[in-house]
Structure 1
Amino acid sequence: MNGPRHRIFSPITRAGRASGQRGAAVFVVMLVVTLLTGLGIFAVRSASLSTMASGFNRQLTQTHYVADYAVLAMVGELGLNAQVHSTNMTSGGSTQCVGFAELVAADKTPSCAQYGYGELNALAQTYSSQELLQPPTGTYPATVVPGSLGASPLEGDMRIEVTDWHPAWPILPGNDATKGQLGYAMVTVSAIGLVRPNPTGMAAGTWDTASATAAGVESSRAHVVLGPILMSN
């Protein structure tokens, strides 16, 4: 009866096997390092996307309020000087409003009133000695004092168009049902609000491609009743 057989390996054979095992170990280590590196890059990218999304959401909110602010500022001005603006529109006004581009091209002559941030800001300074949007002051970020849009170097701009003047109908309660000298009119206030980066302190209305591509834009509209105003016959 034969006993168990034992295989005898030479030192050269053992060294060859050990060398092969070292190659497999290096492959496993590199695979783990690559996997951990990929997970790290994914985590960093996810964190940056979250920060970017937060910034975009903040800019969207600011742009929304700038557009609403433009409408409210124009409505306030119409309430204070309803007769002036009504007369301006019924006597011709401007024909350069964006919403009337096709009508003007078709030889129509609609009237509108246009206002930018400069005009409304000047009116605000006349009435209250305050600017519509306060810019940040100081050196960013060490000694900056936040402005209306925060501490970041951002600029708000707006464009307003007042269009569609027509006598208000139905007659407002409490007023003469017959056509008299005093009455009410309705207009449409369309505003475009814009918020863009402004690291170099550019003046409002200055074109800059870099900041334009990062700008947030929103439109807002309101129908406003003017009066009592002197109606033309």
Structure 2
Amino acid sequence: MTVFVVLLVITMLGAIGMFAARSSQLGVTNSGRYRQMVQTHYVAEAGMHATVSEFARDSQQYLEQLKASSPPATVSGATYPCQDIPWNPSKPTFRPASTNCLRLGYDTVERSARRRTGNSSLDVFVKKGIGGANESLPGSFGMANIAGNFAIEVTDERAVDPPPAGMAIAGTGPGTSTVFKAVTVRVMGQLIPTEDDGDKLPPTNDTFKYATSIEMIRAEVVVGPVKP
């Protein structure tokens, strides 16, 4: 009887220990996932802020690019349809209300920032590296093997009527020869795994497939004043 009680106690203690170890493992795993989710969210927000900054800098140029941009309805080589203006290939008569879609991306924003600042080595997100004395240099995401990326789609150009408060509505006064426009901006933020040296893994890598996280955000952005 004594042996039975001892074995029962040992079994119970073992079960409690396994439960505690499993709970601890789940806690660590979930905290990592939550951190990745938050980082992905802020990467997407960075893409949205970058888009607003670019349109604020030169609204007219980007609106003209939007009018001239019409992605294909189906995949054509390395060119893909816009996600915000979906076509239905099974119904030839179906087409989006507007087929114009301007694509911007991380590289576009980075090139623009380098051109404006005159700094040819400027990075939107700094990757980790090694300093002159072989010391570790953390990047925008610390020393973790991750990097940020975002893809932007601008669609649905439309007039804003009435214009924002404080702007002329009609007449011959200053500001009446220009208008305000609204566009829909869709940003896909990504957190991508990297090598130990900070270089991004290719999409064909298994780690890339299972460790990449994505978040989509959308906003209506009012730009102007611009030419009608």
Mark yes or no: TM-score above 0.5: yes
Match of 1:177 among 170, 188, 192: 170
Label 1:205 to 1:114 Cα distance change in 2 as closer, same or farther (>3 A): farther
CA contact (8 A) 1:153 1:198 kept: yes
What's the secondary structure of 2:84's corresponding residue? helix
Match of 1:98 among 83, 97, 114: 83
Amino acid paired to 2:155? T
Q: Tell me the C-alpha RMSD between the 2 structures.
A: 2.6
Name the residue aligned to 2:55: 78
Identity across matched positions, percent = 29
Number of positions where the alignment pairs a residue of Structure 1 with one of Structure 2: 205
Label 1:203 to 1:152 Cα distance change in 2 as closer, same or farther (>3 A): closer
CA shift digits 1:104-145 (9 cap, x unpaired): 863556101001222122222223332111111239xx9432
Residues 45-194 of structure 1 mapped to structure 2, 5 A cutoff: 45-90=22-67, 92-95=68-71, 96-102=81-87, 106-107=94-95, 110-128=99-117, 129=119, 130-138=122-130, 143-172=135-164, 173-177=166-170, 181-194=177-190
TM-score by length of 1: 0.77
Label 1:167 to 1:103 Cα distance change in 2 as closer, same or farther (>3 A): farther
CA contact (8 A) 2:203 2:209 kept: no
What is the alpha-carbon distance in structure 1 between the residues aligned to residue 188 and residue 43 of structure 2?
9
Of Structure 1 and Structure 2, which has the larger fraction of its residues in helix? 1
Structure 2: runs of 5+ lacking an equivalent: 72-80
Structure 1: runs of 5+ lacking an equivalent: 1-23
CA contact (8 A) 1:183 1:230 kept: yes
CA contact (8 A) 2:106 2:151 kept: yes
Name the residue aligned to 1:4: none
1:37 to 2:14 alignment: yes
Per-residue deviation at 1:53? Answer: 1.4
Amino acid paired to 2:83? V
